[in-house]
Amino acid sequence: MSISVGVIGTGVMGAKHARLLQTETRGADLAAVCDADTKRAAAFGVEVFSDPLALIRSDAVEAVVVASPDETHEALVMEALSQGKPVLCEKPLAATTAQAAAIIEAEIKGGRRLVQVGFMRRFDPAYAELRHASTSGRIGQPMLLHNVHRNAQAPEWFTGAMAITNAFVHEIDASRWLLGSEMARAHVFAGAGGDPLMIQMQTDRGEMVSTEVFLNATYGYHVHAELVGRDGAVSMATPTHAWLDRAGQHGHGWPDNWLPRFNEAYRRQLNAWVQSIATGIPTGASSWDGYVASALADQIVAGMQSERPINFEIGTKDSFYEDAQTEETP
Ligand code: ISE
């Protein structure tokens, strides 16, 4: 039985999800898309909605992918919850902490885990290797995590503090997932104009996490992580399948954006999401994970101008979100 999925937003991310649903996702098919640009939406050859709420309410749609601008996420996720439909919401879960908290309240009230947040790095083979090295004990007790998050250039739709609320939220979630810890405090150093950023965090178990966020690195899209334990370290290999030798040079290219680097992660995430709908067993990042990422991002934005460390407050996780910590399997 194939699950009919509607995708809201056919920009960079929505188009990626729509294409993956049409070509590389088992147990689901693309039933409808929604975008204000109906011409762009029509390219997928499925029913086109101009109203996202109508898509969510449609009997032709059994599950929803939200890939529209950040500020629209809360209302659309809330509508999916009210319709009792599973929803994969691109990160961030919501534009503010309060909106993310409202989603948690509504999901718990509905009594069903229907929301998965698109922190796809949990499904990336390289991140999975780092986490396995930690959970298997091969590097001993983790002590340090070093993250690098470079864009060739900031997305043209980036405004204000999106380096934190839209980009760095990936490292907040990936660091929590890799270490199985909560972030306790942060200190932020900013370059001229706020780019690059160096964000130092420490977890509730004393692990230290450093993250460079550089949105205008020019040479290409480059995400890297190294996890250091008492008995060893594990770091990502060069993201390439081949080395090029020409004109006295040896090396590989860097992509312009994140799609080539995380194509496999998006594919695995969608397949895992569809499987979780079929089995009723949640996978990936929950609404709680989405809330934590937005809460820490908002607290960093509020405190990053001060010289004092930012002490995080996230409240208590409801038992509704207690899952067995599972490895995200391919
Ligand atoms: C973008 O929205 C993403 O989610 C990418 O994965 C991230 O690397 C980029 O910085 C964000 O702007």
- Note whether 193 and 115 are same-domain residues: no
Residue type, 140: G
Does residue 319 sit within a domain? no
Determine the Cα–Cα distance for residues 257 and 155; give it in Å rounded to an integer: 9
Does residue 318 sit within a domain? no
Does residue 329 sit within a domain? no
Residues 6+ apart with CB under 8 A from 213: 149, 163, 164, 167, 168, 171, 195, 196, 197, 199
Q: By the 8 A CB rule, do 258 and 223 touch?
A: yes
Residue located nearest, by CA, to atom 4 of ligand 1: 167
Best residue for ligand 1 mutational test, from 149, 151, 257 (most atoms within 8 Å of Cβ): 151
- Note whether 117 and 142 are same-domain residues: no
Does residue 202 sit within a domain? yes
Percent of the chain with pLDDT over 90: 93
Strands (E), the chain: 3-8, 28-34, 47-49, 63-66, 87-89, 115-117, 142-150, 183-190, 197-203, 208-214, 222-229, 232-235, 244-246, 249-251, 310-311
CATH of residue 201's domain is 3.30.360.10
Does residue 316 sit within a domain? no
- Note whether 207 and 273 are same-domain residues: no
Segment 68-91, tens digit of pLDDT = 999 999 999 999 999 999 999 999
- Note whether 186 and 296 are same-domain residues: yes
- Note whether 68 and 130 are same-domain residues: no
- Note whether 244 and 272 are same-domain residues: no
92 DSSP 8-state letter? S
State in Å: Cα 217 to ligand 1 middle. 14
Segment 59-74, tens digit of pLDDT = 999 999 999 999 999 9
pTM for the predicted model, two decimal places: 0.96
- Whether residue 166 has its Cβ less than 6 Å from ligand 1: yes
- Note whether 7 and 137 are same-domain residues: no
CATH of residue 32's domain is 3.40.50.720
Determine the Cα–Cα distance for residues 1 and 5; give it in Å rounded to an integer: 13
Residue located nearest, by CA, to atom 10 of ligand 1: 167
Best residue for ligand 1 mutational test, from 211, 258, 259, 262 (most atoms within 8 Å of Cβ): 258
Which residue segment(s) compose the domain that 39 sits in? Answer: 3-121+266-287
- Note whether 8 and 91 are same-domain residues: yes
Does residue 138 sit within a domain? yes
Does residue 323 sit within a domain? no
- Note whether 112 and 156 are same-domain residues: no
CA count, 13 A, side-chain hemisphere, 172: 29
Cis preceding-peptide flag for 92 (omega within 30 of 0): yes
User: What domain count does the chain have?
Assistant: 2
- Note whether 134 and 50 are same-domain residues: no
For the four alpha carbons of 37, 39, 44 and 46, in that order, the dihedral sign comes to positive
Does residue 176 sit within a domain? yes
pLDDT in tens, the chain (330 residues): 899 999 999 999 999 999 999 999 999 999 999 999 999 999 999 999 999 999 999 999 999 999 999 999 999 999 999 999 999 999 999 999 999 999 999 999 999 999 999 999 999 999 999 999 999 999 999 999 999 999 999 988 888 799 999 999 999 999 999 999 999 999 999 999 899 999 999 999 999 999 999 999 999 999 999 999 999 999 999 999 999 999 999 999 999 999 999 999 999 999 999 999 999 999 999 999 999 999 999 999 999 988 889 999 999 999 999 975 455 544
Segment 1-60, tens digit of pLDDT = 899 999 999 999 999 999 999 999 999 999 999 999 999 999 999 999 999 999 999 999
- Whether residue 258 has its Cβ less than 6 Å from ligand 1: yes
State in Å: Cα 256 to ligand 1 middle. 12
- Note whether 270 and 296 are same-domain residues: no
- Note whether 17 and 165 are same-domain residues: no
- Whether residue 294 has its Cβ less than 6 Å from ligand 1: no
Going by their DSSP bridges, the two strands 47-49 and 28-34 should be labelled as: parallel
